[in-house]
Structure 1
Amino acid sequence: MSAGYAPTIDTYATLAAAKAAAWRRSPVGFFAGAILAGTYIGIAMILAISAAAGLPPGVRPLVMGATFGIGLILTVFAGAELFTGYVMYLGFGLAKRTISYGEAITLATVVWLGNLVGGVLLSAIFAIGGGGAVFANADTMFNAYVQHKVEADGIALFARAILCNWLVCLAIWTAARMKGDAAKCIAMAWILLAFVAAGFEHSVANMTALTLGLMAPHPVIDLAGTVHNLVVVTAGNTVGGLVFVVFGYMLAARTDAATAPAAD
């Protein structure tokens, strides 16, 4: 683990600049990477719901949390552009002035839209394939799961979204400060278990879950509720990453020991 916080902050500030350069080199390629992240998180969402669908209600949150980690592991190790992680990258990039506000807004918007396309695409393919255990057990779990997301009070959604991306960004931050791929995978999966099992709201995961709710044989949600959820949760995810990770660690980095000047 790195001594001090500044090296990790600098890593992500540099990464933000690299992402901006990647967008300039190939907008199409960059957007493809964002689509992939949407599908990876969507796969994790489908896996989590499928694994928990036939289980007693009291066990479902833990099983969903234990299986969801594959989404972030695929995103980090296979490589893809995930909105919730970008909140942290771009936040540190702005704080360290490695990117401009215009670049940050452009990247965040493009990645969010790419994630949405990926989630919708995956949902469509999964629905055409029959919907597996998700649709088969819709009356016992899935319908209530997505209804809860669209019917929740906006303030409650916003608060749960803040908590969610605090943990997602912490998972990425923590992994960067560890050595060994196995340790990184374990840390990310364990931290994501916390947000899923606790019922927090992840905008990109919701893109798949709510799209499936719209595509189910007997939909129990509507487009207006889906849009409301995604708008509120995206805002909460943004606040969670910026305030509790970016701002928090920028303050914490003030405790780092000053770098000694080089000898003449």
Structure 2
Amino acid sequence: MSTGYSSTIDTYATLAATKAEALRRSPGGFFAGAILAGTYIGIAMILALSTGSGLEPGVRPLVMGATFGLGLILTVFAGAELFTGYVMYLGFGLAKRTVSVADALKLILVVWIGNLVGGIILSVIFAAGGGGAIYANADTMFHAYVQHKVEASTVALLARAILCNWLVCLAIWTAARMTGDAAKCIAMAWILLAFVAAGFEHSVANMTALTLGLLVPHSSIDIFGMIRNLAIVSLGNIIGGLVFVVGGYLAAAKTDAVLAAK
């Protein structure tokens, strides 16, 4: 495991430049990767909701958190383009000037839209199949779950979203500093358990959850509630990743030069 911070920062800054080049060379292929990430996080959301739907409220958050890590593991190891992770990549890329502001804005927008398309596609297919345990227990759990997301105040959603992507980016950052695929999987799953169990807001997971909320019989939310949630939560996810992970480790990396000089 690396003890310094600069090498990890440089790795992600270089990755940002690589992603910008990939978008320029193959926009269709890049967009397909973004769609895949939306489906992978959506699969994890469906798994978490399915396993938690019939449980008592006291244990439900822990079980949902313990299963949600599948989404990030699939994204990292199978390969896909995830909005919340891109906040960190592009933040380091902008700080190290490996990408321009225009490139960063284009990347983050394309990835966000691709993730949304993936979440919607997955949700439509899952709903067409009957909605499984999620829809079967909608009156006792799912309706309340999605209503809570659309009815929460702006400040609450923003705060939960900031905390969420602090942890998601930290999971990706931590895995990059570890050796061994098993260790990486355990670290990512454990860190993501914290944000799900604590009730934080992940914009890409919400793309699937709220689309399912629109498609469920006798839906209790509307499209405007979904748009509001995604707008606020996406902004909060950006703030959380940029301030607490990118900003935090750029500041911490200043110690690398001090130690190297000794």
Q: 1:7 matched to which residue of 2? A: 7
5+ long unaligned stretches in structure 1: none
Match of 1:199 in 2: 199
> Which amino acid is 2:161 matched to?
A
After TM superposition, the structure 1 = structure 2 runs for residues 1-264 of structure 1, keeping only pairs within 5 Å, are 1-257=1-257
What 5-or-longer segments of structure 2 have no aligned partner?
A: none
CA RMSD of aligned residues (A): 1.0
Q: Which letter maps to 1:167?
A: L
- 1:57-100 CA deviation, whole Å, 9 max, x = no partner? 10100000000000000000000000000000000000000000
Normalising by structure 2, what TM-score? 0.98
Q: Aligned equivalents of 2:6 and 2:256: distance in 1?
A: 7
- The number of residues matched between the two structures is 261
CA distance in 2, matches of 1:78, 1:177: 19
- The secondary structure found in structure 1 opposite 2:253 is helix
Which consecutive segments of 4 or more residues in structure 1 shift more than 3 A? 257-261
Structure 1 distance, partners of 2:61, 2:30, is 34
Q: Distance in 2 between matches of 1:242 and 1:206?
A: 20
Distance 1:259 1:97 in 2: 24
Q: CA deviation at 1:257?
A: 3.6
Q: Structure 2: which amino acid aligns with 1:94?
A: L
What SS is found at the alignment partner of 1:54?
Answer: coil
Offset at residue 189 of structure 1 (A): 0.1
Is contact 1:127-1:212 (8 Å) kept?
yes
Take 1:59 and 1:248, find their aligned partners in 2: how far apart are those partners? 33
Looking at structure 2, the residues matched to 50 and 140 of structure 1 have their Cα atoms a distance apart, in angstroms, of 13
